[in-house]
Structure 1
């Protein structure tokens, strides 16, 4: 620990930097001209946070505190700092080139965070806690899917090398049929057959349990996402998983992103110039939050397959000579713009609760409605239940039911 406190710290403006860990955090203080003043280590407890604030305040008026990991190890400190009216800015981890040049240690990282706050290189407000529940549910749902996929892969690999009688009987089954049959097994035979069948039964039951767990988590996630931002959830092609990912990426306070271009860059959907000489073109961005980029990609695929306006757009762009990759890049950029509007402004979602009662009151079947509009019955069903949003179809459907 170093200390070089100014003779009159009360009138001095200082900046803080924090390198956070699970059990400790390292705090550094610099002056407004970048001079190192002091650094110290504190515990990640209420008492430790209070001691850190007293340490910072002892060196002058704290203008801002740069924190690395505001949504992970530094979440507790960030929350406490905000409650003490300190301005906290989010600091990205130093790039590898800089770390190779100056080295890495807790004091080095803490001073780097303080310099980032001083220079303005770090200026983004950290995410608030309003999406913490959505983040938790989303992580749990994703881990359930990963564990389920791992169990299914294990079943497939075991059946490939299983005794011939087991492979011939169960290897030809696919999907849920195979899982259901294996979950009801009664292992019998010699020691090898019993061991293999017991393993397959255990894995199949695990798959069924994880499937039920994922469905429960998805329902809870859908409820949370819809309550938090009904406009985003109602956008075409945006499901519970993609909506949750975009909300987690943006945070509960999307005003921290000043423009929709900044949000597009955050999602890795901003076009990157790739021109040289007479070639004038853009390429896909490799930066940003790749999970958010994947969410935009899935929305684009859904719209390309089932949204009439998007399909017409793809047809026009294909006729203009654009490749599929270029078209998807353009779509992701446009979707990012739409999502940003949903995140930053209140979007009114037209009501659909009256559609099903109105149809049933006139004894009209889903099949009859679907035949009239030239769509699948499932399309009308999902529209009535609010699973899929199509404002034009809903309005036309309501008018047709009223006149019927």
Structure 2
């Protein structure tokens, strides 16, 4: 097995072939980031029939090359840039850096240090992540437009507009405005433009939700069977967490989401504090699910929350316990869905 370490850049990629047993560089090549050069690279790599690609930052600058190789049946692992930096610092040469050294360091990490991770082909989770990111941008654009609309209506109407403002409500309020002078006419025209912009963003948000629902149905996920989890939250969970099997235990998933408390060293007794680490967007999703279940009298989360309050915990402590429990539940559901999909793919 020959390891092909890749140091990717925006315009060029440098590849170094390393023999794992001797950790010895055999050959190196630099290509431009283009499809003809990709094909030249694979032709160069065919001299080693048994090979594996170790791409530094395969989810960043190396994403396109890594996915292109996977689509053609190649095996690719991701090597974090922090790991290649450690290899350079611990090797001879005083931590010198160039593209060939970085490529060799990526292969060395994949061979010896175990920091590399298999890269999977892009699937529904990637599409959900793209739609979720687009939804976040649309939501921010709507908030910005509505805030500007509030400012204009405050100057056009006594007392301004109500706090929860829709496009139809704003249009109805504007119809009651009779501009007195050029300044008010400009304000009303700008407000009309913002109402049109809000309507367009609302339509795009509705289309985004429909696309998320279609993709969620294609994944076969059962996350939406959990009380308080709709298609948008379920899509965000799948997009941010990825494959559940990459977390060995539910505790590892809880640590990744920042819902696992951090133990504090103490001389007299063991104490814990709130974790500020982990994926904060996943933490926010679990917090939303917890708050919804607390308000649903028939949900299991509501019963669990009330039981923790009866044990003497404060409302904040009870919510944190519920989020930790929800993290375990979400991990189990996602793992079950993943295994069911694997069985269906193996035995169609």
TM-score by length of 2: 0.78
Residue 13 of structure 2: which of 20, 25, 33 is its match?
25
Spell out, residue by residue over 1:340-397, the C-alpha distance to the aligned partner (whole angstroms, 9 max, x if none): 22222249xxxxxxxxxxxxxxxxxxxxxxxxxxxxxxxxxxxxxxxxxxxxxxxxxx
2:84 pairs with 1:90: no
* C-alpha displacement of 1:175: 1.6
* C-alpha displacement of 1:246: 1.2
Q: Which residue of 2 aligns with 1:268?
A: 258
For residues 312 and 345 of structure 1, do their structure 2 counterparts lie closer, same or farther at Cα, with a shift above 3 Å needed? closer
For 2:176 and 2:65, the matched residues in 1 are separated by 52
For 1:224 and 1:103, the matched residues in 2 are separated by 47
**Is contact 1:25–1:42 with CA below 8 Å preserved after alignment?**
yes
Q: Which residue of 2 aligns with 1:331?
A: 322
Residue 50 of structure 1: which of 39, 43, 47 is its match?
39
**Is contact 1:187–1:198 with CA below 8 Å preserved after alignment?**
no
For residues 153 and 41 of structure 1, do their structure 2 counterparts lie closer, same or farther at Cα, with a shift above 3 Å needed? farther
For residues 246 and 171 of structure 1, do their structure 2 counterparts lie closer, same or farther at Cα, with a shift above 3 Å needed? closer
| Structure 1 segment 176-215 matched on structure 2, within 5 A | 176=166, 178-181=169-172, 188-215=179-206
For 1:125 and 1:268, the matched residues in 2 are separated by 24
Q: Which residue of 2 aligns with 1:7?
A: none
For 1:62 and 1:35, the matched residues in 2 are separated by 15
For 1:272 and 1:105, the matched residues in 2 are separated by 40
For 1:296 and 1:93, the matched residues in 2 are separated by 30
Q: Mean Cα displacement is larger for which, 177-186 or 233-242?
A: 177-186
For 1:263 and 1:36, the matched residues in 2 are separated by 38
TM-score by length of 1: 0.69
For residues 258 and 66 of structure 1, do their structure 2 counterparts lie closer, same or farther at Cα, with a shift above 3 Å needed? farther
**Superposition CA RMSD, Å:** 3.5
Residue 304 of structure 1: which of 275, 285, 294 is its match?
294
Where do 5+ consecutive residues of structure 1 fail to align? Answer: 1-12, 348-404
Residue 150 of structure 2: which of 147, 156, 165 is its match?
156
* C-alpha displacement of 1:228: 1.2
Residue 121 of structure 1: which of 115, 122, 145 is its match?
115
SS of equivalent to 1:262 = helix
Q: Which residue of 2 aligns with 1:343?
A: 334
Where do 5+ consecutive residues of structure 2 fail to align? Answer: 90-94, 339-348
For 1:288 and 1:92, the matched residues in 2 are separated by 18
For 2:292 and 2:15, the matched residues in 1 are separated by 47
Q: Which residue of 2 aligns with 1:292?
A: 282
SS of equivalent to 1:94 = helix
2:270 pairs with 1:277: no
* C-alpha displacement of 1:55: 4.5
* C-alpha displacement of 1:149: 0.7
SS of equivalent to 1:15 = strand
SS of equivalent to 2:268 = coil
